[in-house]
Amino acid sequence: MINRQTIQKAKQAHRNTILETLERRLQVAKANGENNLVAQLEAEKRYYLS
């Protein structure tokens, strides 16, 4: 059986991966001047940070 600590570590690792991916996507969107996408990605990032 998987213990709670292992599950918590997996959740945190998953969250960190999502945030890293969002940050990379934000950088590309900003570089390409895609303002609508930037706004959407920033909103998604705020969701995961709250």
The full DSSP string for the chain is ---HHHHHHHHHHHHHHHHHHHHHHHHHHHHTT-HHHHHHHHHHHHHHH-
Q: Which residues contact 15 (CB under 8 A, 6 or more apart)?
A: 48
Q: Rounded to two decimals, what is the model's pTM?
A: 0.83
Binned at pLDDT 50, 70 and 90, residue 2 comes out as: confident
Give the total number of structural domains in the chain.
Answer: 1
Residue 37 belongs to what domain range?
12-49
The answer to the question of residue 35 being in a domain is yes
Residue 5 lies in a domain: no
* In-domain check, residue 1: no
Instruction: Quick: pLDDT tens for 17-29.
Output: 999 999 999 999 9
Which band of pLDDT confidence, cut at 50, 70 and 90, is reported for residue 30? very high
Band of residue 5 on the pLDDT scale cut at 50, 70, 90: very high
**pLDDT higher than 90, residue 16:** yes
Burial per residue of 21-47, b for 16 or more beta-carbon CB atoms within 10 angstroms, e otherwise: ebeebbeebeeeeeeeebeebeeebee
Average pLDDT over residues 38-50: 95
**Quick check: is 7 in a domain?**
no
Please give the DSSP secondary-structure letter assigned to residue 34: -
